[in-house]
Structure 1
Amino acid sequence: MGNYAPIGNLRLYYEIHGDGYPLVLIHGGGSTLESTWGTILPELAREHRVIAVELQAHGHTPDIDRPLSFEQDADDVAALLTHLAISQADIMGFSNGGTTALQIAIRHPALVHKLVLIAATFRRDGMPPGFFDGFDHARLEHMPRPLAEAYLKANPDPAGLQRMFDRDVARMKAFTDIPDSAVRGIAAPALVINGDSEVILAEHALALFRTLPNARLAILPGGHGDYIGEICSPEKNGPMPKLVSAMIGEFLFSSEKK
C-alpha cells in the first residue's frame, strides 16, 4: 500500500487511503503514520483521499545527511503534493506534525485549503515549565515503548531508531517561537484541538486559536493524543476518537462544497 516519492535525495514514504478531497496527515515526533493515525485513519478515509506521510528519519522514510527541522518537513510535504499533482489539500498534523502543518501554511499558503492543528506548538511557553530542559538528558530508553515498537515494525533497524530519536531531540532543543505575525498571516480556516491535561497547555491552544485569523477551538478531555486514539493512549477503542473524527469531518466539509 505504501509508496516512495523522490524529494531531492529523500525517499519520502506515504500511503493513500480512500477517495475524495485530499487530506494530508502528518504524524507526531518519534512516531509513524500508524502510531499517530491508526485509530482514526479508517474513519477519515470514508470521505477523504487521505495521504499519510512519514517524514525524514521516521518509520519507513530513511534519514539522509541534511538538517531536520519543521521548516524542512513542511517543504518536503509541499514537494510531495507537487509530485502527486495536488494543487491544494486539507492539512492535519498532530503534535510536532501540527507545528509542521503551521509551517506549511506559512511557507506554502496556496497549497492549504483548511488546517486541523492537534496539540500543536508555536511558542516554547506552550509547554510546562522545565519541559525543554529535559532534552539535555534524554536517552532512547526514555522513549515510550509503544512508539519504539511502532518504529521497529515499520523499519526493523535499531540504529535507525536511535537516529530518529537523536534527530527529534535535537530539533526540539533548537525549536524557536514562530512569530505571531506569521501565524496571523495564515488565511486558511483552522480547527485547533487540544487535550485539557496534556503536555501542550490548554492555554497555549487558546492563544493559537486567538492568534489565527480564522479559527475554531476544541478543548477535549484527555492527555496527549488520547482523543484521537494515538498509540500511547489508554483507551484507543473508546468512543472519543470516532466523535473527534466526526467533528473534524464536519469542519472540513462545512462552509463550502469541495
Structure 2
Amino acid sequence: MKTTKNDTLTSKNGHSEVNGIKMYYEIYGQGKPLVLIHGGGSTIQTTFGRVIPMLAKHRKIIAVELQAHGRTSDRGKDSSFEQDADDVATLLKNLNIDKADFFGFSNGGTTTVQIAIRHPEIVDKIILGSALLKRSGVPAQFWGFMKQAQLSNMPKELKEAYLQVTPDSNGLQIMHDRDAKRMVNFKDIPDELIKSIKVPTLFINGDQDVVTPEHALEMHKLIANSKVAIIPGVHGEYIEEITTLKSDSKEADYVIPMIESFLDKPETKQ
C-alpha cells in the first residue's frame, strides 16, 4: 500500500490478492467505511472521481476496481456479478473491515445487490445507483445493442481512462468483451432473492436513465426497507460520471447530501 496526495485529498492505494486476481483499491478519509463499486467499463475515477472528495469528508471511502477493470488483473474467466461480489467481500476481509455501507453504480449496483444477497453479514446499508436487477429494466433494444457491442463503440472517455492507468490495449479489449458478454447473458435476479435483502436500501435513478425509473420503483417494492429517488438527468449524471460532464450538471451538490442523510439516519427496526 502506498500513500499519494492530490490537491485536496490524501489516499492510500494498493493491490490485494483476491480469489486469484490482484485487486486494486483506494482508501480516502476517516470514519465509517463506505465501499464504492464502479460501473461497467469504468475505473474508480470515471465513475466516482467527482464525488469522492465530498463523500470522504465524513467517511472512510474504500473504492475498488473489479476484475479486468482499471488496475485490477483478469483471472482468465468470464466475469459475473456473483464473482465480483465475492471478490469485494474477500478484499474487505483482507483489509480487516468487518462491516460497511456500499454504493454501487450501474453494473456496480448489480454487484452490490449480490453482496447484500451473498454476504449480508458485512452489509449495513446499500445505495443502488441505476442498478439492473431484471432484463425488463432496460428498453428492449438495449439487448440487441449489447449483442453487437464493439470496442469502437465504447465511450472514448472510458477507453482513455483505462489506458491512462493501464496502457494495455489487449487488456482494454478483454475488459470490454467480458462486460459485453456478461450483459448479453444477464439473467433476472429472482424475486425471492431480492426480497431477502433486509438492510436499508436507497435506489437512485435518472429520469432519462438507461435503466428505467419504472424498474427502480418496481424493485423498491420488493425490498421492504427501501427508498427510491428519481433525479432529473441521464445515466450517472447525478454523480457526475465522466461521460456526463459535458452537461455541466451540478446535481451531485444535492444528491451527495441526500445520500449522506440516508447513510447517517439511525435504522428503525421493521
Q: Following the alignment from structure 2 to structure 1, what is the Cα–Cα distance between the partners of residues 247 and 146?
A: 28
Contact 1:39 1:236 in 2 (8 A): no
Could you tell me how far 1:237 is from its partner in structure 2? 5.3
User: Does structure 2 retain, via aligned residues, the 8 Å contact 1:70–1:99?
Assistant: yes
Give 1:87's aligned residue: 98
Q: Structure 1 counterpart of 2:219, which letter?
A: L
1:132 aligns with 2:136: no
1:59 aligns with 2:70: yes
Q: Deviations over 1:108-143 (max 9, x none)?
A: 001100000000010000000121111221110000
Distance in structure 2 (CA, Å) of the matches to 1:137 and 1:233: 23
Deviation of residue 66 (structure 1)? 2.4
User: SS of the residue aligned with 1:90?
Assistant: strand
Once the 2 structures are TM-superposed, how far is the Cα of residue 236 of structure 1 from its aligned partner? 6.8
User: 1:5-32, CA deviations, whole angstroms, 9 ceiling, x for partnerless residues?
Assistant: 1113210000000000000000000000
Which residue in 1 is equivalent to 2:60? 49
Q: Which residue of 2 aligns with 1:18?
A: 29
Per-residue deviation, 1:54: 0.2
Give the structure 1 partner of residue 7 of structure 2.
none
Aligned residues: 257
Structure 1: give runs of 5+ residues left out of the alignment.
none
Task: Give the unaligned 5+ runs of structure 2.
Answer: 1-11
- Percent identity (aligned): 49
Looking at both structures, which has the greater relative contact order when contacts are Cα pairs under 8 Å and sequence separation is at least 6?
1
Tell me if 1:209 matches 2:220. yes
The answer to whether the aligner puts 1:197 opposite 2:208 as a matched pair is yes
Using the alignment, how far apart are the partners of 2:250 and 2:146 within structure 1? 34
Encode CA deviations 1:159-218: one digit per residue, 9 max, x unaligned. 111110000001101110001110111010001000000110000010111111100110
Find the partner of 1:168 among 161, 165, 179: 179
Q: Which amino acid aligns with 2:218?
A: A
Structure 1: 4+ residue segments shifted above 4 A: none
Say what the alpha-carbon RMSD is for the aligned residues.
1.3
1:64-79 equivalences under 5 Å are 64-79=75-90
1:115 aligns with 2:119: no
Q: Secondary structure at the match of 1:233?
A: helix
* Aligned match of 1:185: 196
State the partner residue of 1:251: 262
Once the two structures are TM-superposed, the CA of residue 256 in structure 1 deviates from its matched residue by 4.9
Q: What is the TM-score of this pair, normalised by structure 1?
A: 0.97
- Equivalent residue of 1:209, what SS? helix
SS of the residue corresponding to residue 233 of structure 2 reads: coil
Task: Give the TM-score taking structure 2 as reference length.
Answer: 0.93
Cα distance in structure 1, aligned partners of 2:15 and 2:167: 18
Match of 2:252 among 241, 245, 257: 241
Q: Which amino acid aligns with 1:245?
A: I
